[in-house]
Amino acid sequence: MIIKCSKETKRLISIEDHSVIGGLGSAISEVLTSKCPAKLERMGIKDEFGRSGKAEELLKFYNLDSEAIIKKFVN
């Protein structure tokens, strides 16, 4: 599916609610670099200690809520 989407769009976005290191974006990147190079935008939590809180508050804090996603990719 990654290869198919890459060929159709030439650009992929991964958004994950945990560390970007070793996460979904890393796995997608490995597939792309070996099979079908394409632009990949990755959003997730940078390399830092995690925090506790309500899911909605944490998504907003880490700029992973819908508003942040729209701001980054739509504007």
pLDDT tens sequence across 22-37: 999 999 999 999 988 8
Structural element, H or E, at residue 40? strand 39-45
Tokens for 36?
Answer: 């079908």
Q: Where are the domains of the chain?
A: 2-73
Tens digits of residue pLDDT in 52-70 = 999 999 999 999 999 999 9
Architecture of domain 2-73: 3-Layer(aba) Sandwich (3.40)
Average pLDDT, the chain: 92
